[in-house]
Amino acid sequence: MSENQSTATLFEYQKYPYESSKTDSFKEGTLHLTDKTIELLDSLNSKRPILEIGRNTIKPLNYVGVVRVNGFTVQILPKLFAQESCPEQKTLAAANLLKMLFHTENVPITEVDPAGLDLRKMDLFEVFIHLFAKNLLNTIKISLKREYITNSDELRVVRGRIDFQHHINPARMHIIPCRYHELSVDNLLNRTLRYTCYLMSRTVSDFTTIRLLRSIVNLLDPVTLTPVSVAEIDRITFSRLNRIFEPYIRMCRIFLSRSSLTLQASKVEFFSLLIPMERLFEEFVSTVLAEDPTYFFGRYVPVRSQAIVGRLVKDANGTELFNMKPDIVIGYPQIEAVIDTKYKQLDSGDRKLGVSQADLYQMYAYAAKTNARRCMLLYPEVLFEQKQDFALTVRSVEGTDMDILLMIRAVRLSHDLNHQDGWEAFRSELREIVRPLIAEREPLTTTESGRAAAEG
| Residue of 269, 274, 227, 289 whose CA lies nearest to 103 | 289
Residue 450: is its pLDDT beyond 50? no
What percentage of the chain has pLDDT greater than the value 90? 35
pLDDT in tens, 7-18: 899 999 899 999
Q: How far apart are CA 239 and CA 293, in angstroms?
A: 30
Give yes or no for a contact between 322 and 308, defined as CB atoms under 8 angstroms apart. Answer: no
36-48 pLDDT, tens digit each: 898 888 888 888 8
- Distance between CA 325 and CA 330 in Å, rounded? 12
CB 372 within 8 A of CB 333: no
Single out the residue of 97, 66, 90 nearest to residue 274, CA to CA. Answer: 66
Question: How far is 4 from 126, CA to CA, in rounded Å?
Answer: 13
pLDDT confidence of residue 88: 77
182 or 437, which is more confident? 437
Q: What is the pLDDT of residue 446?
A: 44
Predicted confidence (pLDDT) per residue in 195-253, tens digit: 999 999 988 888 999 999 999 999 999 899 999 999 999 999 888 888 889 989 999 99
Could you tell me the pLDDT band of residue 30, with boundaries at 50, 70 and 90? very high
Look at strands 401-412 and 374-381 and give their pairing: parallel
* Strand bridging mode 320-324 / 176-184: unpaired
Tell me what pLDDT residue 327 has.
Answer: 92
The highest-confidence range among 79-88, 109-118, 282-291, by mean pLDDT, is: 282-291
Q: How many other CB atoms are found less than 10 A from the CB of residue 139?
A: 19
Rounded distance between C-alpha atoms, residue 418 and residue 123, angstroms: 17
The rounded distance, in Å, linking the Cα atoms of 26 and 317 is 59
Rounded CA-CA distance 241/238 in Å is: 8
Query: Per-residue pLDDT for 156 more than 70?
Result: no
What is the pLDDT of the chain when averaged over all its residues? Answer: 82
> Of the spans 164-168, 391-395, 449-453, which averages the highest pLDDT?
391-395
Q: Are 272 and 67 in contact (CB under 8 A)?
A: yes
Say what the pLDDT of residue 433 is. 94
* pLDDT per residue as tens digits for the range 280-303: 999 999 999 999 999 999 999 999
pLDDT surpassing 70 at residue 406 = yes
The domain ranges of the chain are 7-144+188-276, 147-184, 292-437
| pLDDT value for 209 | 92
**Which amino acid is it at 389?**
D
Poorest-pLDDT segment among 255-259, 382-386, 433-437, 442-446: 442-446
- What is the average pLDDT across 164-180? 70
Q: Would the pLDDT of 101 be above 50? A: yes
* pLDDT tens, residue by residue, 235-249: 998 888 888 899 899
Q: What are phi and psi of 233, to 5 degrees?
A: -60, -40
Residue spans of alpha helices (H) in 312-384: 357-370
| Burial annotation 433-444 (CB, 10 A radius, 16+ → b, else e) | bbebbbeeeeee
Q: What is the pLDDT of residue 167?
A: 61
How much is the pTM?
Answer: 0.78
Strand partners, 5: none
Give the range among 62-71, 135-144, 161-170, 408-417 with minimum mean pLDDT: 161-170
